[in-house]
Amino acid sequence: MIQAKDINFNSAWQEMTPGGEIYEGGTAAQTITGEWRANVPAFLEDKCKQCLLCVPFCPDASIPVVDGKRVDFDFDHCKGCGICYKVCPFGAITFGKEEK
Amino acid sequence: MNNMTEIRWHGRGGQGAKTACLLLADAAFTAGKFVQGFPEYGPERMGAPITAYNRISEERCNIHSNIYNPDYVVVVDETLLHGVDVTAGLNPAGAIVVNTPKAPEEIRPLLRGYAGRVCTVDARSISEKTLGRYFPNTPMLAAIVKVSGVLDEAQFVADMQASFEHKFATKPQVVAGNMAALTMTMKEVREG
Amino acid sequence: MSIRERLSGNEAVATAMKQIDPDVFAAFPITPSTEIPQYFAQYVADGKVGTEFVTVDSEHSSMSACIGAESAGCRAITATSSAGLAYMYEVLYVAASARQPVTLACVNRALTGPININCDHSDSMGARDAGWIQIYAENNQEAYDNYLQAMRIGEHPEVRLPVMICQDGFITSHGVENILLEETEAVKEFVGEYKPENYLLKKENPMAVGAYDVTQYYMEHKVQQAEAMKNAKQVILDVAADFEAKFGRKYGFFEEYQMEDAEYAIVLIGSTAGTCKVAIDKLRAEGHKVGLVKIRVFRPFPAEELAQALSKCKAVAVLDRSEGFNACGGPLGAETRNACYDLENRPKIINIVYGLGGRDCAVEDAEKIYHHLEKIVATGVTGPVYFHMGQRDLREEVL
């Protein structure tokens, strides 16, 4: 069975799945959308009250929660939309230009 | 196909000409023949002239066109004689059978010079006597079997008994009436 | 042992469906295919099938439900005609590109307008490039037999394409004729179970269907589909051979009637083939070398095989029961001319559009066409290569 990770822009039609079927879950993780980021949030841990409001607002599920506490951003997938910065009530997230 | 009999039915929408045509196909099928039964379809319009066709043969009928030169014509409603050219293309060696209380010689002048056999049967009176209501299907089916000789009469009567018993399994009281309509028609068809 | 019966084409197809007992039947009724879901709904109500019968609000929904059911791993079927097929148009493409082998019973009816309910092939011909396999029938027997073969063709792993089983509206769908049915057990054994390798309800292997394709992937998937359609040719022949071995009736891409030494041939689709055969029998008895190629499989189109079948003819008339409105012919005409282009000595080919909206075609019409072909060869003048037959016309008749 052909896996999604084995299909890329160099794959011939014979190396692709019929009708573009995808035979596993969670393949979105394989796309590093973090590369699309022009602006970037920063997490100020000492200001954070762990209210977790930012977590459900993140459209890209890029705020990991470990043992009930949010940790630093998943920058492989964060697209830098800034929604978390807008919703944080405690100024624990800053937002600025991406420096790559 | 020389052994093929072609029959054309003329009726009015809602009178059961299509049903009679399919019943004839059924009877001929039961008698071991190859059959076609098909009405000319259009929008449903009660009372509008309709045409239905039968082909009955010893071999499979491949032809899929309407019938232009029938061997027999059945007219389920005599009022059609004034507006429809019912004998168009009709084989002079064949026959036409018309549902009417009139005698064949009274009908012949309406048939645009058709020289073949003209038969009549009063399906209304037979139906009302045997079934209590006007259902011309069964009498006209019996009439065309009688006139055309396309099926063995005794076998046809026996097959229809079984067919009615099957069709009216939930209302067996109408079987006897239909059988009476069948046999009465076969006696009363007039030829001229 | 075959069962001698007399059925309309619609009841024949409904009987095939009952015998196969598919998982899902989603349908919205439309004349002249209405009887098919009507009969089937009765089978469901009587407990004769285990099928989930899904009544929907439209044909767009019936096809969508079929695609969903197939994706989930079910065998899904539907039936439609004319405007119903047109309303499915978008999702016909989805079924084909998602490679879901839905089976659709298409009862051919003119596609509006003016509104008309009678037979022509404009509905399915409009969908000819949607990626569906299309198989056409001459009569009720072929409609039944084609239906029994459809799923094995469409579901074959090398094919995985939806299949349209077409028959002529009213002419065969409502005409009652003799038919040989097969025992349900034999049918079930022939058709087999549907066992897709991957499907949405396979819990040990989550799966996604219908993902978006960026440009970098789209063309590869279209090539896959095109290759699958090519693969279908061999599968169609294999299934037909198996069908013949089991039930004794022979099928191929097309039927050749009196073609061994035919110099003048008609190529057509559907119920008119029977009428044409009667004309051939008559003309052959008078010494005319005439024959018929009745196309059964229109998609995939058997171009090479058809060219071979016509290679010894002097003149060919291709009959289209639908207009192409391209000002140069109908779809079968275009395919046939294309197929014959590479022949060393290709025949003269004319294309006649006939039978639209149920316009009848009689034995005499077929005879006239053969005489016209003979005249073309005798005089060396082809004359018009695209014209209509059967219409009232103030111009001089070509035939």
CB within 8 A of C273, min separation 6: which ones?
B62, C138, C255, C257, C292, C294
For the record, the structure tokens of C90 come out as 């978008």
ipTM value:
0.92
Last residue of a domain, one of C205, C229, C247: C247
- Could you say which of C100, C210, C221 has the minimum Cβ distance to residue A16? C221
Cβ-Cβ contacts under 8 Å between B and C: the total is 67
The letter for the amino acid at B182 is L
In a domain, C398, yes or no: no
Residue of C nearest to B64 (CA): C275
Q: In a structure prediction context, what are the per-residue pLDDT tens digits for chain C, which is 399 residues long?
A: 899 999 999 999 999 999 999 999 999 999 999 999 999 999 999 999 999 999 999 999 999 999 999 999 999 999 999 999 999 999 999 999 999 999 999 999 999 889 999 999 999 999 999 999 999 999 999 999 999 999 999 999 999 999 999 999 999 999 999 999 999 999 999 999 999 999 999 988 889 999 999 999 999 999 999 999 999 999 999 999 999 999 999 999 999 999 999 999 999 999 999 999 999 999 999 999 999 999 999 999 999 999 999 999 999 999 999 999 999 999 999 999 999 999 999 999 999 999 999 999 999 999 999 999 999 999 999 999 999 999 999 999 899
CA distances (Å), origin C178, targets B26, B32, C154: 10, 10, 28
In a domain, C317, yes or no: yes
Specify whether the CB–CB gap between A36 and A81 falls below 8 A: no
- Note the pLDDT of residue A28: 86
Identify the weakest region by mean pLDDT among A26-30, A81-85, C5-9, C185-189.
Answer: A26-30
Interface of A with C (CB under 8 A): 1, 7, 9, 11-13, 16, 18-25, 27
A20 and C217 in contact by Cβ < 8 A? yes
CB within 8 A of C156, min separation 6: which ones?
C231, C232, C235
A20 and C205 in contact by Cβ < 8 A? no
From chain C, the residues in CB contact with A1 under 8 A are 198
In a domain, C124, yes or no: yes
CA distances (Å), origin B101, targets A64, A69, B111, C380: 94, 99, 16, 62
- Where helices occur in B31-83 by DSSP H, the ranges are 80-83
For the record, the structure tokens of C236 come out as 């169609």
Residue of C nearest to A13 (CA): C220
Specify whether the CB–CB gap between B52 and B9 falls below 8 A: yes
Specify whether the CB–CB gap between C268 and C332 falls below 8 A: yes
CA dihedral C167, C328, C306, C138 (to 10 degrees): 20
- Could you say which of C168, C274, C360 has the minimum Cβ distance to residue B66? C360
Distance from CA of C211 to the nearest CA of A (A): 7
Cβ-Cβ contacts under 8 Å between A and C: the total is 52
What stretches of C127-220 adopt beta strand conformation (E)? 133-136, 163-168, 176-181
Would an 8 Å CB–CB cutoff place C217 in contact with chain A? yes
Is the backbone of residue C94 left (phi > 0), alpha (psi -120 to 50) or beta?
Answer: alpha
Whose CA is closest to C366, among C261, C205, C257, C260? C257
CA distances (Å), origin C83, targets C56, C65, C115: 16, 18, 10
C99 and A24 in contact by Cβ < 8 A? no
Last residue of a domain, one of C200, C231, C247: C247
Specify whether the CB–CB gap between C385 and C350 falls below 8 A: yes
Distance from CA of B103 to the nearest CA of C (A): 34
What would the pLDDT profile of B12-54 be if each residue is shown by its tens digit? Answer: 988 889 999 999 999 999 999 999 999 988 777 888 999 999 9
Average pLDDT for B52-57: 98
A24 and C223 in contact by Cβ < 8 A? no
| Residue B1, pLDDT above cutoff 60 | no
Spatial distance between the Cα atoms of A66 and A70, rounded to a whole number of angstroms: 6
- Note the pLDDT of residue A100: 65
For the record, the structure tokens of C248 come out as 């004794």
From chain A, the residues in CB contact with C198 under 8 A are 1, 21, 23
Neighbours of chain C (3+ CB pairs under 8 A): A, B
Residue B192's pLDDT band (boundaries 50, 70, 90)? confident
What is the number of structural domains in chain C?
A: 2
Hey, which CATH number is domain A32-100, 3.40.50.150, 1.10.3720.10, 3.40.50.280, 3.30.70.20?
3.30.70.20
- Note the pLDDT of residue B129: 96
Specify whether the CB–CB gap between C325 and C386 falls below 8 A: no
Specify whether the CB–CB gap between B99 and B39 falls below 8 A: no
CATH label of the domain that carries residue C329? 3.40.50.920
Last residue of a domain, one of C196, C230, C247: C247
Would an 8 Å CB–CB cutoff place C277 in contact with chain B? yes
Tell whether C205 and C264 lie within a shared domain.
Answer: no
Would an 8 Å CB–CB cutoff place C362 in contact with chain B? yes
Tell whether C279 and C384 lie within a shared domain.
Answer: yes
Distance from CA of B145 to the nearest CA of C (A): 18
From chain C, the residues in CB contact with A9 under 8 A are 216-217
Distance from CA of C69 to the nearest CA of A (A): 15
Tell whether C116 and C264 lie within a shared domain.
Answer: no
From chain A, the residues in CB contact with C216 under 8 A are 9
Residue B166's pLDDT band (boundaries 50, 70, 90)? confident
SS percent in chain A: helix, strand, coil, step 5: 30, 15, 55
Pairwise pLDDT comparison (B3 vs C128), residue with the higher score: C128
Specify whether the CB–CB gap between C358 and C116 falls below 8 A: yes
From chain C, the residues in CB contact with B68 under 8 A are 362
Tell whether C194 and C111 lie within a shared domain.
Answer: yes
| Residue B2, pLDDT above cutoff 80 | no
What stretches of B76-170 adopt beta strand conformation (E)? 95-99, 117-121
- Could you say which of A16, A23, A25 has the minimum Cβ distance to residue C224? A16
Domain, as residue range, for C81: 3-247
What would the pLDDT profile of B114-154 be if each residue is shown by its tens digit? Answer: 999 999 999 999 999 999 999 999 999 999 999 999 999 99
Mutate to test the interface with C, among B64, B66, B163 (most CBs of C within 10 A): B64
Tell whether C136 and C258 lie within a shared domain.
Answer: no
- Could you say which of B26, B41, B63 has the minimum Cβ distance to residue C275? B63
C274 and B63 in contact by Cβ < 8 A? yes
- Note the pLDDT of residue B44: 75
Would an 8 Å CB–CB cutoff place C95 in contact with chain A? no
| Residue A98, pLDDT above cutoff 90 | no
Give the three-class secondary structure for A40: strand
In a domain, C178, yes or no: yes
Mutate to test the interface with B, among C176, C258, C319 (most CBs of B within 10 A): C176
pTM of the complete model beyond 0.90: yes
Specify whether the CB–CB gap between C291 and C265 falls below 8 A: yes
Interface of B with C (CB under 8 A): 1, 22, 25-26, 29, 34-39, 41-43, 60-66, 68
- Note the pLDDT of residue B46: 85
CATH label of the domain that carries residue C212? 3.40.50.970
The neighbouring-strand residues paired with B73 are B8, B96
C207 and A16 in contact by Cβ < 8 A? no
Q: How far apart are the first and last CA of chain B?
A: 29
Question: What b/e string do you get for C22-39 counting C-beta neighbours within 10 Å, with b at 16 or more?
Answer: bbbbbbbbbbbbbbbbeb
Average pLDDT for A23-52: 93
From chain A, the residues in CB contact with C162 under 8 A are none
Residue B100's pLDDT band (boundaries 50, 70, 90)? very high
What CATH number is given for B5-191 in this structure? 3.40.920.10
Domain ranges of chain A: 1-31, 32-100
